Structure 1
Amino acid sequence: MRFSSTKWSIGWKTSVHEGRIYQLKLFCDKDYPDKPPSVRFHSRINLTCVNHETGAVEARKFDMLANWQRKYTMEDILTQLKKEMTAPHSRKLVQPPEGTFFE
């Protein structure tokens, strides 16, 4: 089974993400839920777990993907990304201009 979905997320107050809308893609291949989906931002974003050239969330830098468990859901991934965006080390990162995208 293959599943591809585009999700939208609205930025949170008191951070550099306030009022922004981000587009990302979660892709589940035939091994899901035994293996994690791939997660890739279409909207440009500056986070330590996101590859700055491709927009891919790098599993080795994002604990939930690195330590994937079958019980995790896509909602859990989005919740963890929100926590990453609002973490003190991420809240002040300079962001690319709104409306810019990875190729």
Structure 2
Amino acid sequence: MSKVPRSFRLLEELEKGEKGFGPESCSYGLADSDDITMTKWNGTILGPPHSNHENRIYSLEIVCGDRYPDEPPLVKFISKVNLPCVDQTTGVVSAEKFHTLRDWKRSYTMQTVLLDLRKEMGTPANKKLSQPSEGSVF
């Protein structure tokens, strides 16, 4: 089976993100529409209901390096969030502490990452964690 080239894969993800084919709980798109390398992306996650994240919108930066999708993207929260897998100084999601990045598969997408982060927010261990004031950023 042949591998889809990086640029084709990212074009697929861009189309899906722009047309809103994914779930309403997260979204993503290019940070700069003129970026022909499709490296830097913006993402948003709506906090899961029945948690301390409810009614919050989290902004993220996603960087798809030259080896994406063979290697996971770099994911960084812009909005402050208190989660064990997020560095509390930089907002970077730890590849060691976040299972989706640690156990990365080529079939995963940026949407997979955003949805799994949202699920992480809603787990029993994390949904009641106190959160920084709304609107604060890293």
CA RMSD between the two structures = 0.9
Aligned-residue identity in percent = 45
Higher relative contact order by CA 8 Å / sep ≥ 6: 1 or 2? Answer: 1
CA offsets 1:33-67 (integer angstroms, 9 cap, x no match): 11100000000000010000000000000011111
The answer to whether residue 130 in structure 2 is matched with residue 94 in structure 1 is: yes
Q: Secondary structure at the match of 1:89?
A: coil
Amino acid at match of 2:51: S
Aligned residue runs from structure 1 range 69-88, under 5 A: 69-88=105-124
Q: Is the 8 A contact 1:22 1:42 kept in 2?
A: yes
Give 2:52's match in structure 1, choosing from 9, 13, 16: 16
Give the structure-1-normalised TM-score.
0.95
Bigger Rg over Cα: 2
Counterpart-to-counterpart distance in 2, 1:2 and 1:9: 20
Q: Is the 8 A contact 2:46 2:118 kept in 1?
A: no
Counterpart-to-counterpart distance in 2, 1:67 and 1:15: 26
Partner of 1:36: 72
Q: Is the 8 A contact 1:2 1:29 kept in 2?
A: no
**Runs (5+) with no aligned partner, structure 1:** none
Give the structure-2-normalised TM-score.
0.71
Counterpart-to-counterpart distance in 1, 2:99 and 2:47: 21
- Aligned residue pairs, count: 102
